[in-house]
Amino acid sequence: MIGDAYAFVTGGAALDATSNIFSRKALDGGMRKREWLLTGFFTGVSSLFLFAIWWILGAETNIKSGFWFAVFATGLLNIGIQYFSTKSRSLEDVSLVTPIAASTPAIVIILSLLILGEKPSLIGWIGIYLLIIGVYILNIQEFLNKKKKNEGRVTWKDWFAPFLMLSKSVGIRYAFGAACLGALALNYDGLIARTADIKFALAVKWLIVALPCLFMSFMRKEIKKETSDRCAPRRFAFRHIIVISLIGVLLSVAGILNAMAFQETIVPYVGTLKRLQIPMTIILAYFFLGEKLNFKNRLGGGIIMAVGALLVGIS
């Protein structure tokens, strides 16, 4: 993998992790039950910000064949990803839903081969699967801790609970649906980065996501929706605008870095290394949100992820 691409995608992962922290702050500050509004707001800000930068720097589109299909495909898929992710978290325990995100890179490999004809090297394959295993181990720890606390022990079946519950839980199926849509969308993210000016391409993509989300928010009257959080405002407060706008800006810069990586290397590598935002989010949440997590239990997953990321980097 080219060094520049590695730097771009890891930088993008760091910014994505930071935006995750601000998203949690927004949710805890009165945006729970307003997920459509939150998503539509920060993707709208991201679109406007990117359009502004694109215009200031010359407003060149450099559109090539296949761009419009790819940008509408990834935009619509991201709407589905948002809906499926939100639905899964409302129907199932987050500690079960979150580990399923680890399956995305495995699906990306297959879809990238079919859609783009891109195939990792042998070392790249090994690195990708080590990263997948590491991410899964990191994310399943919360569920295992709850299981041990409630029942006093953990069995081997508990390690595979998200997969074993696939036929029983609607929420789990929604989570897998989001993972599949995400894997498909990554390929079209790669295409739009290669078939038009990056800033213009991402601005159009987020506009396609923002408008339906804001429409859904309006239809559900989320801006006036009551919240059950005792410590949160019961009405939408406009002081949230600064925090949510910052999320949009972070999303924009992260998107540019990831798109630059797509121009340098294949989609499976970029899609896999984007998972690095997960341990980064855990670390940032520990320091800035006070989430006192058991790092000892997560150390094994982190080491496996690090080895996988290294192998992807040298492939």
What is the pLDDT, as a whole number, of residue 233?
A: 46
Mean pLDDT of 174-198: 93
Asked if 87 contacts 174 with a C-beta cutoff of 8 angstroms, the reply is: yes
Per-residue pLDDT tens digits for 60-82: 888 999 999 999 999 999 888 87
Q: What is the mean pLDDT of the chain?
A: 84
Tell me how far apart the alpha carbons of residues 92 and 87 are, in angstroms, rounded to a whole number. 9
Per-residue pLDDT tens digits for 242-299: 888 898 999 999 999 999 999 999 999 998 888 888 788 777 877 776 666 666 667 7
Selected residue with higher pLDDT from 139 and 119: 119
From 48, 92, 88, select the one nearest 214 (Cα to Cα): 48
Average the pLDDT over each of 26-40, 60-74, 169-183, 196-210 and give the range with the smallest value: 26-40
Tell me how far apart the alpha carbons of residues 250 and 12 are, in angstroms, rounded to a whole number. 9
Asked if 105 contacts 272 with a C-beta cutoff of 8 angstroms, the reply is: yes
Which amino acid does the sequence have at 139? N
What is the pLDDT, as a whole number, of residue 192?
A: 95
What is the pLDDT, as a whole number, of residue 184?
A: 93
Burial 72-100 (b: 16+ CB within 10 A, else e): ebbbbbbbbbbbbbbbbbeebeebbbbbb
What is the pLDDT, as a whole number, of residue 237?
A: 58
Per-residue pLDDT tens digits for 200-257: 999 999 999 999 999 988 888 877 765 544 444 445 556 677 888 898 999 999 999 9
Tell me how far apart the alpha carbons of residues 101 and 89 are, in angstroms, rounded to a whole number. 13
What is the pLDDT, as a whole number, of residue 253?
A: 95
Vertex 118: Cα angle to 113 and 122 (nearest 5): 95
From 255, 222, 288, select the one nearest 33 (Cα to Cα): 222
Tell me how far apart the alpha carbons of residues 264 and 262 are, in angstroms, rounded to a whole number. 5
CA 65 to chain centre: 27
User: Dihedrals φ, ψ of 158, to 5°?
Assistant: -65, -30
Mean pLDDT of 169-187: 90
Tell me how far apart the alpha carbons of residues 19 and 31 are, in angstroms, rounded to a whole number. 15
Judged against a pLDDT cut of 70, whether residue 173 lies above it is answered with yes
pLDDT above 70 covers a percentage of the chain that reads: 88
Domain boundaries, the chain: 3-227+248-314
Q: How confident is the model at residue 103 (pLDDT cuts 50, 70, 90)?
A: confident
Asked if 15 contacts 250 with a C-beta cutoff of 8 angstroms, the reply is: yes
Residue corresponding to tokens 């949230």: 240
Three-state DSSP at 265 gives coil
User: Dihedrals φ, ψ of 165, to 5°?
Assistant: -95, 5
Q: How many CA atoms lie within 13 A of 214 on its CB side?
A: 12
Vertex 283: Cα angle to 281 and 285 (nearest 5): 65
pLDDT above 90 covers a percentage of the chain that reads: 33
User: Dihedrals φ, ψ of 118, to 5°?
Assistant: -100, 130
What is the pLDDT, as a whole number, of residue 231?
A: 42
CA 312 to chain centre: 19
Q: How confident is the model at residue 25 (pLDDT cuts 50, 70, 90)?
A: confident
206: enclosing H helix or E strand: helix 198-219
Selected residue with higher pLDDT from 126 and 221: 126
47 vs 100, 108, 145, CA distance in Å? 29, 26, 40
Which amino acid does the sequence have at 116? L
Asked if 145 contacts 297 with a C-beta cutoff of 8 angstroms, the reply is: yes
